[in-house]
Amino acid sequence: MTITSLLISLLTIAVVLLVISRYKKHCKKKVQRRSKETWAIGIYEGVSPLELFPPKDITNPVLTAKEVTDISARFVADPFMIQNEAGYHLFFEVLNDKRNTGEIGYAFSNNGLQWKYRKVILRERFHLSYPYVFLADGEYYMIPECMGSGGIQLYRATHFPDEWQHSDTLVTGKKRLSATLDPSIIHYQNRWYLFSYAPKSKSLHLLIAETLTGPWKEHPKSPVVSNSPQFARPGGKVILYNGAIYRYAQDEIPNYGTKVWAFRITELTENSYYEELASNKPVVEPGNEWWNLTGMHTVDPHQRATGEWWALVDGFSIQQQTPKC
């Protein structure tokens, strides 16, 4: 081995060790921050799904980790609700403190205001969160965020609301390199559209299929948002409002889960996509209560019979902990 080749080898090793060291430091900071986060679920109201505020007659939060009875929970977050003749059914992430892994919890309400925690209804070997629930052809489905599974997974309720089984793998990918985070789906003009986030490139991808189980393919305009930690990551249910489609985006500036913006999708076909920022103000942002002081990052809106809107939202604060000597 020549001196030149030896120097090149040593330099390569040094670069690899530096990259590994920085990655481990990044992961350690992420774990430390997460261990101090306290997430909870609340209710906001407004005249539209674009203007939501804390209600005066409801005490927030309506659900916290203290209500979780079947596991030791660190927090609850990512609320998604569906209503039927039996009542209001709320699904959300429960972070299992022992496993340090997300699981899907379930709570029930007769009026949408007071919630009773029931149990964890979905648990896998990998992390679960963001349980996007919806009804299609008379069946209840859920697409949770589960990047650790290596793709986007579809679950079907065999006995709603508490029994679910894996139905299909909609998309496969190589974890952080692929767009599998926070998948958000909508059926529009006889086609299915699926938004999902690629954390490595900070980009929002859009997929399209004629049927729910696919095959799914990348939309010609995908990614529809590129290199944007502020506007690319989904932050709640994709909805129809006043004849237009709206999507929510969680803002990761300056930190993960800071606030949520709304985007109006002005054109969505199998070949085209256009959107615009719905307002220069975020839909939700850090509040002045203990449960949402640091940020808010999920909006699940619903319209009342009176025409007004209400939403399940989540918020968090960072607990200041005394360093251990």
**Residues 258 and 285: beta-carbon distance below 8 Å:** yes
d(CA 116, CA 111): 11
Q: Where are the domains of the chain?
A: 38-318
CATH 1.25.40.10 fits 38-318, yes or no: no
Please tell me the distance from the alpha carbon of residue 77 to that of residue 316, in angstroms, as a whole number. Answer: 9
pLDDT along the chain (325 residues), means of 10: 61 53 44 68 98 95 98 98 98 97 98 97 98 98 96 98 98 81 98 97 97 97 98 98 97 95 98 98 96 97 96 89 37
- Both structure tokens of 211: 């049927």
Secondary structure (H, E, C), 159-187: ECCCEEEEEEEEEECCHHHCCCEEEEEEE
Cα–Cα distance list, 144 to 24, 55, 127, 149, 194 (Å): 27, 29, 10, 11, 13
Amino acid (one-letter) located at 59: T
Q: Could you tell me the pTM of the whole model?
A: 0.88
pLDDT value of position 167: 98
Q: What are phi and psi of 274, to 5 degrees?
A: -140, 145
Element (H, E) at 20: helix 3-36
pLDDT for residue 9: 60
Give the whole-angstrom CA distance, residue 252 versus residue 281: 15
d(CA 286, CA 255): 12
Q: DSSP states of 91-103 as a string? A: EEEEEETTTTEEE
Report phi then psi at 44, rounded to 5.
Answer: -120, 160
In whole angstroms, give the CA distance from residue 179 to residue 206: 9
For residue 11, give the amino acid letter: L
Q: Give residue 228's identity as a one-letter amino acid code.
A: S
For residue 64, the one-letter residue type is T
Q: Which residues make Cβ contacts (< 8 Å) with residue 150, sequence separation at least 6? A: 172, 173, 174, 175
Q: Determine the 3-state secondary structure of 146 from DSSP.
A: coil
Give the pairing type, strands 244-251 and 239-241.
Answer: antiparallel
Maximum pairwise Cα distance, the chain: 81
**pLDDT score recorded for residue 150:** 93
